[in-house]
Amino acid sequence: MSRLAHQSSNLSRKGLRRQPTSLSRTASSAALGSADPIEQLEASLPKVMRVNTEVEKAPVIDEDGYLNMLEKRLSIKNIGVIIVSELLGTILFLFFAFFAATQASNRGNAMKEEFPTAPLDTSGLLFSSLGFGFSLAVNAWLFFRISGGLFNPAVTLALTLTGTLSAFRCAILTITQFVGGILAALLVTALVPGPINSRTTLGSGVTVAQGFWIEFFCTAELVFAIFMLAGEKHKGTFLAPVGIGLALFIAEIAATNYTGGSLNPARSLGPDVVTRTFEGSCWIYYIAPYLAAIVTSGFYWALKWMRYETANPDQDAAQEEERKSFIRDMNGNIIGELDSVPLKDWASLQDVVIDAALPQDDPHGAQHVVPGISHKASEADTLGVTTDSNGFVPGSKQDIPPVPPVPTDSRRLYQQDRTNDWAGPVAQ
């Protein structure tokens, strides 16, 4: 075994681990408190990116140096995953959208040639709008757990302004999305007979100012839908891609006949680059979405600052009958209650956790309340935290060796109060 592996093993046995960094906590939040930071990072890396202790030797490698090495590799891996998934998601989203738009545009052009005075082809408009809306809903649902499923530089800027994304990730995603838009247009051009027919241009009689504000308001609708459906966590968050897809659908219904319905700088750039056509009014498809992202972000921040949820409270209240968990002593008296908190709030609660010691006069000492973090987290990323009747947090359940040793069949779960006195078993 190399020196690095030997040191890591010794450190693990001694428990000499520093507190997890934000990156290592992200790597395995479900295992927070029950796994070593280095073990979490090692488990988050594919085998090809793990440190080869037989090759990557150094004269002196301490724990911090080894942990930093793992964090850098995890960061590189995550960036690669984000770039690949966002690129593929943008290509797929615009590929199917361009297919639908090209077919609808070709049909509309054919009808105009045959019937010059024919009214708007609403069936083609509906076909194209559904193609964009459904393509966004499906691909956002596929990729939102990996890269966020943004596919739109304007949305990326909005999430950066509200603090969801860093400036570095914003730059990476923006470049990736523009490249994805160009590649999607190239694929459609290669597969569809004839040129791609999904460029965004102003309709007949539409002025530049009108086109600008149409793009502005439609993009604002889309960005705000993303804020409220995906950015704000609620019971319907898992359905956010559907609502976002519908937001794009109604925006396309309104804007396609007048501006082509861009709402996305990458969507406009791709066909223009492939066809090598840039009109004098093409700037509105970049400035209007970005301006809408800035204004909508400011409006969203204002709502958060005013605590909008108090204006219409209890929107996510459970519809079914709520049940209460509590703790009884051996005589059936209620002595406390069970509570749960999000993982992100547990660190602040640890400050009020009291030290608990195993009572010497307890004949059944096998499991008791000790400070720390539960080994099991729920699917909602919450920890089981035990509170007494006054709402204090004595700690969470954790197995400890029995003192003094007792047979396995006599191990019991019991509760301590704030004076460390045995308060009886925990009701199951």
Cβ neighbors of 338 (< 8 A, separation 6 or more) are 325, 326, 327, 384, 385, 386, 387
Q: For the chain, how far is it from start to end, CA to CA, in angstroms?
A: 47
pLDDT at position 388:
56
In which band, very low, low, confident or very high, does the pLDDT at 45 lie, cut at 50, 70 and 90?
Answer: confident
Q: Where are the alpha helices (DSSP H) in 227-283?
A: 240-259, 265-275
Q: Please tell me the distance from the alpha carbon of residue 263 to that of residue 178, in angstroms, as a whole number.
A: 14
Query: Is pLDDT above 60 for 124?
Result: yes
pLDDT at position 312:
86
Write down the domain spans for the chain: 3-61, 87-310, 327-425
Cis-peptide into 265, omega within 30 deg: no
- Residue 214 CB burial class (10 angstroms; 0-12, 13-18, ≥19): buried
pLDDT at position 12:
41
pLDDT at position 116:
77
Q: Residue 216: in which H helix or E strand, if any?
A: helix 208-226
Determine the topology of domain 87-310 in CATH. Glycerol uptake facilitator protein (1.20.1080)
How confident is the model over 318-331, as pLDDT tens digits?
544 556 777 887 78
Q: At what angle do helices 265-275 and 167-191 cross, to 10 degrees?
A: 40
In which band, very low, low, confident or very high, does the pLDDT at 404 lie, cut at 50, 70 and 90?
Answer: very low
How confident is the model over 185-241, as pLDDT tens digits?
999 999 988 888 999 999 989 999 999 999 999 999 999 999 999 989 888 888 999
How confident is the model over 263-280, as pLDDT tens digits?
999 999 999 999 999 999
Q: Please tell me the distance from the alpha carbon of residue 178 to that of residue 32, in angstroms, as a whole number.
A: 37
Quick one: which of 29, 39, 41, 31 has its CA closest to 70?
Answer: 41
Q: Given the structure tokens 């093409």, which residue do they identify? A: 282
Q: Please tell me the distance from the alpha carbon of residue 337 to that of residue 385, in angstroms, as a whole number.
A: 9
pLDDT at position 322:
59
pLDDT at position 112:
78
Cβ neighbors of 352 (< 8 A, separation 6 or more) are 392, 393
Quick one: which of 286, 247, 252 has its CA closest to 270?
Answer: 286
Residue bearing the bigger pLDDT, 249 or 355: 249
Contact by Cβ (8 Å): 11, 63: yes
Cβ neighbors of 184 (< 8 A, separation 6 or more) are 90, 91, 92, 93, 94, 95, 98, 270
Task: Flag the least confident range among 95-109, 280-294, 381-395, 398-412.
Answer: 398-412
Q: At what angle do helices 167-191 and 63-114 cross, to 10 degrees?
A: 40
pLDDT at position 390:
55
In which band, very low, low, confident or very high, does the pLDDT at 25 lie, cut at 50, 70 and 90?
Answer: very low
